[in-house]
Amino acid sequence: MEKILVLDFGGQYDQLIARRVREMNVYAEVRPYSAVPLDEIKEYKGVIFTGGPNSVYDESSPHYPKEILTLKVPILGICYGHQLTAYMAGGTIRSAGSISEYGKVELRCKKSKIFDGVPEKSVCWMSHTDYVSIVPEGFEIIATTENCPCAAMCDEERSIYGVQFHPEVTHTEYGKQILHNFVFGVCRCKGDWVMDDFIEKTVEKYKKELEGKRVLCALSGGVDSSVAAALMSRAVGDRLYCVFVDHGLLRKDEGDGVERVFGNMDLNFIRVNAQERFLSKLAGVTDPGRKREIIGEEFIRVFEDTAKSIGKPDCLVQGTIYPDVIESGKGDASVIKKHHNVGGLPERMEFERIIEPLRDLFKDEVRQVGLKLGLPEALVMRQPFPGPGLAVRIIGEITKEKADTLREADAIFRGELEKQPLDCKLSQYFAVLTDTRSVGVMGDAGTYGYTVALRCVSTDDFMTADWTRLPYEILARASARITNEVRTVTRVVYDVTSKPPATVEWE
């Protein structure tokens, strides 16, 4: 199988690079720079150096042996990877100072293999504080911006390229074309990898590794855990036990709905009602990271207790996907937020191992797997719901009263959006209960209630997202119903922040 190596130097979007390559039916894998010996590089058709938050001149920054440039394996450096390529080849990098570039910038490029089909002027996405000021010997500058004298460089004889901008994000107008040119034009890949290969290899892998073992699956009823359950069911059959934990922080009627869908499937379905247990652990806690840690640990404890009652399974399956991993921090990457199933896991667990069969997939890839496994389209295509549930949508201390308030407001908003088809794309939509109270008036009397924020985003991969331009009429109806039907709410606002700088969830 042809493979592209995405060499991870701590960038937040490294897996997005791999996803873009996979979209071309070429298998790409992300590996930490520190875990790939030089002698393994030749196994790949090409290598992509990711971005990262560091400076190449900092001795503690991630580096790689410069001999990689002599292996005759095509290389594409992105952002920090671009600077590192120049540094290893003898170029000079400087701080951009007050003229650092962030966001959309006009790119001017020259003819080159990686710019084939890209117009002379286009829009790219920049995010850097350093830049290549002098290119190494044998390289030429093939793109510039107003404030960046070397936005791209190449040594076409050795098939080595570097771009200061991020072609992997949708904001770069011809980013997909640039990556396509590298993968097919430079690396000469054929594009013969398909998702069926992932399913077959994953099932075979766990058939062998888990032979004779009993497996417990953490089933939330959401897309990720449902697909993980279906995948593992193929691997271990009736030795799989799917446990659904109702932690008191689900959406309105969610628990009963999950039981209706999965209770009749051949998955050894078990429902655990643990509302009081979770709410008591969360009492008085306001820090978002601590909330996730508590929920992550308590989930594990519930699973351990349940495992004892059914004969102590050896392994625990989770529906972790890559955005969970990358936002929780890994290697040299920064922590954005600790996901309950990654950064929130306790150090001590009674299971032999945690199994995460979807850990390297994006949401759209998970959905592809689900459809190929034969899961209902309505289940596979439903909008995501985080494992911590409403805990990440209640700002401040979590109480049953707040959870009940948010459940009602959220159900109203989702109901209004689902009444009729809309022209705009709706990837995820929900209500948030802020910790802000404000004065209102109802029936000629003053009130002092909560402010609810409505959130709706559109995205392809959940690594970046844009706020959705909903019709005012829908927002007006949702606001009127929430303030009239949910007595503890006096004000409704709409979140118009994209990701980045925000995340999709509020906590």
Q: What is the pLDDT of residue 277?
A: 95
DSSP one-letter string for 224-292? HHHHHHHHHHHHHGGGEEEEEEE-S-SPTTHHHHHHHHHTTSSS-EEEEE-HHHHHHHHTT---HHHHH
- More confident of the two residues 157 and 376: 157
Instruction: Using the predicted structure, report yes or no on whether residue 331 has a pLDDT greater than 60.
Output: no
Q: Name the token pair of 345.
A: 């896991």
**Mean of pLDDT values over 295-320:** 88
Q: What is the pLDDT of residue 335?
A: 44
**What is the spatial distance between Cα 1 and Cα 21, in angstroms, rounded to a whole number?**
14
**What is the spatial distance between Cα 87 and Cα 63, in angstroms, rounded to a whole number?**
10
pTM of the predicted protein model: 0.69
DSSP one-letter string for 102-155? EEEEEEEE-S-GGGTT--SEEEEEEEESEEEEEPPTT-EEEEE-SS-S-SEEEE
User: Which DSSP category does 465 fall into?
Assistant: B
Q: What is the pLDDT of residue 332?
A: 47
| Strand pairing category for 140-144 and 152-155 | antiparallel
Tell me the residue type at 355: I
pLDDT tens for 51-76 read 988 888 888 889 999 999 999 999 99
Q: What is the pLDDT of residue 60?
A: 86
Q: What is the pLDDT of residue 384?
A: 79
CA angle, 190 then 142 then 136, to 5°: 100
Instruction: Sketch out the chain's domains with CATH numbers.
Output: 3-186 (3.40.50.880), 195-380 (3.40.50.620), 394-494 (3.30.300.10)
Instruction: Using the predicted structure, report yes or no on whether residue 349 has a pLDDT greater than 80.
Output: no
Residues above pLDDT 90, as percent of the chain: 62
User: Which DSSP category does 184 fall into?
Assistant: I
**What is the spatial distance between Cα 383 and Cα 427, in angstroms, rounded to a whole number?**
6
Q: Name the token pair of 113.
A: 């293999």
Give residue 391's pLDDT band: very low, low, confident or very high (50, 70, 90).
very high
Instruction: Using the predicted structure, report yes or no on whether residue 134 has a pLDDT greater than 70.
Output: yes
In contact, 18 and 6? CB cutoff 8 Å: yes
Q: What is the pLDDT of residue 488?
A: 93
In contact, 186 and 113? CB cutoff 8 Å: yes
Instruction: Using the predicted structure, report yes or no on whether residue 267 has a pLDDT greater than 50.
Output: yes
Give residue 337's pLDDT band: very low, low, confident or very high (50, 70, 90).
very low
Q: What is the pLDDT of residue 358?
A: 94
Could you list the active site residues?
79, 166, 168
Between helix 195-209 and helix 223-236 the angle, nearest 10°, is 60
Q: Name the token pair of 489.
A: 């709410």
**What is the spatial distance between Cα 506 and Cα 414, in angstroms, rounded to a whole number?**
17
**Mean of pLDDT values over 199-228:** 92
Beta bridge partner(s), residue 433: 394, 452
**Mean of pLDDT values over 235-259:** 92
Cα 10 off chain centre by: 15
Most confident of 101-105, 182-186, 191-195: 182-186
Of residues 477, 376, 498, 359, the one with CA closest to residue 427: 498
Instruction: Using the predicted structure, report yes or no on whether residue 326 has a pLDDT greater than 90.
Output: no
Report the mean per-residue pLDDT for the chain.
89
Return the residue matching tokens 């519930």.
Answer: 302
pLDDT tens for 30-48 read 889 999 999 999 999 999 9
Q: Name the token pair of 77.
A: 């450096």
Neighbours of 29 (CB within 10 A): 14
Q: Name the token pair of 224.
A: 């990720």
SS3 per-residue string spanning 126-141: EEECEEEEECCCCCEE
**Mean of pLDDT values over 125-131:** 84
In contact, 73 and 187? CB cutoff 8 Å: no
C-alpha to C-alpha distances, 114 to 15, 181, 197, 258, nearest whole angstrom? 21, 5, 29, 48
By mean pLDDT, which of 8-12, 113-117, 130-134, 348-352 is the weakest? 348-352
Q: Name the token pair of 23.
A: 């979209």
Instruction: Using the predicted structure, report yes or no on whether residue 351 has a pLDDT greater than 90.
Output: no
Neighbours of 416 (CB within 10 A): 22
Instruction: Using the predicted structure, report yes or no on whether residue 341 has a pLDDT greater than 60.
Output: no
**What is the spatial distance between Cα 477 and Cα 472, in angstroms, rounded to a whole number?**
9
In contact, 26 and 189? CB cutoff 8 Å: yes
Q: What is the pLDDT of residue 494?
A: 98
Integer distance in angstroms from the first to the last C-alpha of the chain?
40
Beta bridge partner(s), residue 122: 107
Longest CA–CA separation in the chain, Å: 79
Cα 229 off chain centre by: 20
Cis peptide bond upstream of 501, omega within 30: yes
Which residues 6+ apart lie within 8 Å of 420 measured at CB?
none
In contact, 54 and 332? CB cutoff 8 Å: yes
Q: Name the token pair of 250.
A: 């689900």
pLDDT tens for 86-96 read 999 999 998 87
Return the residue matching tokens 């271990």.
Answer: 236
**What is the spatial distance between Cα 302 and Cα 43, in angstroms, rounded to a whole number?**
44
Instruction: Using the predicted structure, report yes or no on whether residue 261 has a pLDDT greater than 90.
Output: no
Instruction: Using the predicted structure, report yes or no on whether residue 339 has a pLDDT greater than 70.
Output: no
pLDDT tens for 428-486 read 999 999 999 988 876 656 678 999 999 999 987 777 789 999 999 999 999 999 999 99
Q: Name the token pair of 142.
A: 């093939």
List alpha helices for 287-398, DSSP H: 288-309, 322-327, 363-372, 377-380
Q: Name the token pair of 364.
A: 């759209």
Q: What is the pLDDT of residue 346?
A: 55
- More confident of the two residues 290 and 53: 290
Instruction: Using the predicted structure, report yes or no on whether residue 355 has a pLDDT greater than 70.
Output: yes
Q: What is the pLDDT of residue 343?
A: 42
Return the residue matching tokens 């003053």.
Answer: 446
CA angle, 383 then 358 then 204, to 5°: 135
Q: What is the pLDDT of residue 41?
A: 96
